[in-house]
Amino acid sequence: MMKIGCARTDITVYEEGMGLLGWAYRENVVRGVAMPLNARAFVLEDSAGGGRVAIVIAEICFITQALRQAVVDEIERRPHLGLSDERIMLSATHTHSSPSGFSQVAFYAATTPGCSEHVFGGLVEGIVSAIEQAVARLVPGWASVGSGPIPVSEPVAFNRAIHSYEANHDVHTRTGEDHSPTAIDRDMTVLRLDDDSGRPLGMISWFGVHGTSIHRDNLLLHPDNKGMAAAWFERFATEGLRAPGFVAAFAQSPCGDVTPNRNFSIRRGLTIGEHDDDFESARRNGEIQARHARTLFESALPVGGRKVHLDAALLTADFADLPVDPAFVDGRPGRRTSPAVVGVRMLFGTSEGPGLPYLLVPFIEALARTSARMVALARGSDDPQAPKLPLLEVGLGTKGRALGSVPMDRPFPLVGDLDPTVGFLNRILEDGAVDERPWAPQVLPAQVIVIGDFAIAAVAGELTTVAGRRLRAGLLDRLKGRGVRHVVSMPYSNTYAGYITTPEEYECQGYEGGHTLFGRWTLGGHRTLFDRVAARLLQDPADRGSDRGPVPPRADPALVKRWAFVPRP
């Protein structure tokens, strides 16, 4: 028996004219609200002495390092809540129609561009309030788990990077685009929460599909397909299950290469969902997810376990130079991650969100390739960033270079007035509001919460299908030692630091590989860190010690204040 509390709060907050977060497109700015955004909190307490954990799913693009730090700070000021840092798990649904302005690292602040105290404070307040309300509603209850595939006949998700996917050594089907609906993880997992009388309290669903049913021509806040699924399920629970106050969250599992869009629109120049009306596509996609979640909810079985019923662990590592366990890189010794580098291929986007015109590809890549040859000569054949063509060495701050040769300690010439991202970087460079500190997070967390024989792994990035499959398999193998039988991996959690591709996918250097910041061994680095978390969970809590790795650096408030969003005329 445990105690369970669930709550939902409104986190609809924005600054008009600020970019929506996700597309990094200059015209994709917020002008109003189509649907409210919510944070949904689930607090579980182990009656046998395992303490409490809090899981929050927010309808935003991702969790930034600064947002997590601020939420944890506020929770720790409220000791009556009984929650420590490693027992607070924050995740996002990855809607691309949510506010920006809450990143305090230069690269992700630049894409929208700027910071907003109003947005940041509103998100912190809403998330903390959801946790507080969930604690206040704790009642004796039970947790159950259900899992199963969404049929291929349901047009819910498709692989948008099929050639990279099929480059993986453990993918044996080679059918190109025809394989797109099956070149993903079609399994959904549901955690059902009831009180001790059997009355439904809440539910979390995990299924991987991008929050991009609504495209970059939208100007309104919207929770996208995951939010539509949550709204559908909460209506069903209220009306069909007679469970007022029921809270349903639809979280992500690995979906870095998974899209809800499959139909190319000639008029719009990109792939879209089942309808030309994006809001209708989001509604239909969400309804598919919700219907399947209902089936799993109704067939879920109670969680079990032989040891501590409720447990959690969180460790951090510096991905600027993390030694990777050979077991996670096919036995190769001496592999390490590298300071963050954004690749040229990120500039050109995807079929659902095109970037620069492909006519510019040869020109820009020729510039980068010339510089890359010089870098390769300096670094040798073991460069973990190869074969990426460098766009920005964001891990080195103002010591880095653009396109391999242009110093990043001074404004970028010519293009600042044409592109708001570059214009923002030029402004903070001219103002001295940026320095040698990394422009992207590099000290990253890995966190696991165990609920009986069920475990949730919170991942600080954007896992592709196969990357997620490998990470989950390794964790399950390790955690079997404490009775865990089912693991879900939840990306966009706790911190965001780009994509996490497999080494084979990284070699292909598509959009996803270009945004895999720490080089080809990035996945190996995450698996190494999660293996340490699993080892910690196998220890008796009294023997774990207090060392949980390096502390993520905090942004300088004086500098961040100078990054404030400035409306365009």
Per-residue pLDDT of 431-448, as tens digits, reads 999 989 999 999 999 999
Mean pLDDT value across residues 78-97: 97
Q: Is residue 518 part of a domain?
A: no
Half-sphere exposure of 7 (CA within 13 A, CB side): 21
Q: Is residue 513 part of a domain?
A: no
Residues 163 and 150 in one domain: yes
Q: Is residue 516 part of a domain?
A: no
Residues 109 and 57 in one domain: yes
Number of domains in the chain: 2
Residues 329 and 365 in one domain: yes
Q: Is residue 517 part of a domain?
A: no
What pLDDT, on the 0 to 100 scale, is given for residue 382?
75
Structural domain range at position 366: 320-436
Residues 94 and 186 in one domain: yes
Residues 271 and 161 in one domain: yes
Residues 401 and 482 in one domain: no
Q: What is the DSSP string of 545-563?
A: -S--SPPPPPP-HHHHHTT
Torsion angle of the four alpha carbons 62, 291, 10, 132, in this order, in degrees rounded to the nearest 10: -90
Per-residue pLDDT of 232-285, as tens digits, reads 999 999 999 999 999 999 999 999 999 999 999 999 999 999 999 999 999 999
pLDDT over 70, % of the chain: 93
User: Of the candidates 436, 453, 468, which is a domain's last residue?
Assistant: 436
Residues 428 and 447 in one domain: no
Q: Is residue 520 part of a domain?
A: no
Q: Is residue 519 part of a domain?
A: no
Residues 252 and 121 in one domain: yes
What pLDDT, on the 0 to 100 scale, is given for residue 373?
57
Tokens of 385: 């960033």
Per-residue pLDDT of 350-374, as tens digits, reads 999 998 766 666 677 776 776 665 5
Residues 271 and 345 in one domain: no
Half-sphere exposure of 557 (CA within 13 A, CB side): 3
Sign of CA dihedral 315, 321, 326, 327: positive
3-class DSSP string for 463-488: ECHHHHHHHHHHHHHHHHHHCCCEEE
Phi, psi of 72 (to 5 degrees): -60, -40
Spatial CA neighbour of 537 closest among 484, 461, 472, 459: 484
Mean residue pLDDT across the chain: 93
Q: Is residue 97 part of a domain?
A: yes
> Which pTM value belongs to this model?
0.96
Q: Measuring CA to CA, how many Å separate 332 from each of 27, 161, 329, 475?
A: 45, 27, 6, 20
Per-residue pLDDT of 35-85, as tens digits, reads 999 999 999 999 777 799 999 999 999 999 999 999 999 999 999 999 999
User: Of the candidates 436, 466, 484, which is a domain's last residue?
Assistant: 436
Q: Is residue 562 part of a domain?
A: no
User: Of the candidates 411, 436, 461, which is a domain's last residue?
Assistant: 436
The distance in angstroms from the start CA to the end CA of the chain is 58
Residues 154 and 87 in one domain: yes
Question: 109, 563 in Cβ contact below 8 A?
Answer: yes
Per-residue pLDDT of 544-558, as tens digits, reads 999 999 999 999 999
